[in-house]
Amino acid sequence: MAKRVIISGGGTGGHIYPAIAIANALQQKEPDLEVLFVGALGKMEMEKVPRAGYNIVGLPIVGIKRELSLDNLAFPFKLANSLLKAKKVVKDFAPDIAVGVGGFASGPLLMMASLAGIPTLIQEQNSYAGITNKLLAKKAGKICVAYPGMEAFFPAEKLALLGNPVRSDIVDVSAKSKEAIVEFGLDPERKTLFVMGGSLGARSINESIDAGLEKLIAAGYQVLWQTGKSYIATAQASIAKLGTKQVKAFEFIYTMDLAYAIADVVVSRAGALSVSELCLAAKPSILVPYPAASEDHQTKNAQTLVKQDAAWMIKDSAAGQDLVTKALELLGDLAEQENLKFNIRKLAKPTAASDIADEVLKLIK
């Protein structure tokens, strides 16, 4: 009889893409294995997971807002409704194991799976564990983590330091630079600053780059700029005003392997997935953590790299003043680029998805 796995969580690309990578690795190892995803209604997993070829069930779960909000009054009712629906999903699908990758939906689903006596595995992507995963850890059979020192949050005997699963096409981007030049219409003779703010864009990064475009162009560099949906029109207007071919802006870049291939320096948020990709692609990076991330985990992710001399970090509040200045400094310092490349490459875990899939299969009785 085919094994059955539920994978729950989502909310951001940083949760969804690792979850899909784990599912793909499981099916490579056992082609007849069945996977069902459980996500949060209205979140991006409801679109991205079916596009990857998997079925998904949505729960009405939402997060608690930090500020005073009427929406928080609905939270207990949505949580209760989500628990009931999760219980039904577990009963109907009858999984051999439930895997939680973080995000709203993982809490109710893993809780109901544990109560039904089904083994559970948690994949914690960040260097600072979220509240949901800390609560779920008591019942989990295994906790796969991406950073050392996670025994501060979880029982040490349950931990497996395996890294974050990322797309396999990022493992070796060095041979793709010619393809990248054609893809983005860039100049092979110029050094490239690649700017990305995650799947939704990043206001402080976008505004800082926009304000410093003339300096970057005057210094002879070119910019590949993923703006996110909300800033693309502003970016394109700025580029048109400057009348330059040295800046190419895109709302979203799907061929991330090619973007990394052409990048000499990367400016990025410090979400778990972005950091893991940067380690694998071995790119000199300036990280600008998103300050409103839960438990300020992006700052902690970035600090982990900074402590190992594997990246630079600028606070979000200082981006307007410092980001372009630091980008120009790093673009011009070849020795420091090589130093950061050498140190960040040591943190890469290229077999993470396969290794986590092995742990999932071990827990299935």
Annotated binding site for UDP-N-acetyl-alpha-D-glucosamine: 12-14, 126, 167, 199, 253, 272-277, 298
- End-to-end alpha-carbon separation of the chain, Å? 13
* Number of CB atoms found within 10 A of residue 355's CB: 17
Is the Cβ–Cβ distance between 302 and 311 less than 8 Å? yes
**What is the rounded CA–CA span in Å between residue 9 and residue 82?**
13
**Tokens for 217?**
């162009």
Say how far apart CA 358 and CA 231 lie, in whole Å: 41
Q: In whole angstroms, give the CA distance from residue 67 to residue 280.
A: 37
Tell me the three state secondary structure of residue 317: helix
d(CA 95, CA 82): 18
The count of residues in the chain is: 365
Is residue 265 within 8 A of residue 285, CB to CB? The reply is yes
H helices within the chain, ranges in order? Answer: 13-29, 45-51, 75-93, 106-115, 131-136, 177-184, 203-218, 232-242, 256-262, 272-281, 297-307, 319-331, 334-345, 352-363
Question: Cβ distance 8 to 39 under 8 Å?
Answer: yes
- Map residue 249 onto helix, strand or coil: strand
Feature table: binding site: 12-14, 126, 167, 199, 253, 272-277, 298
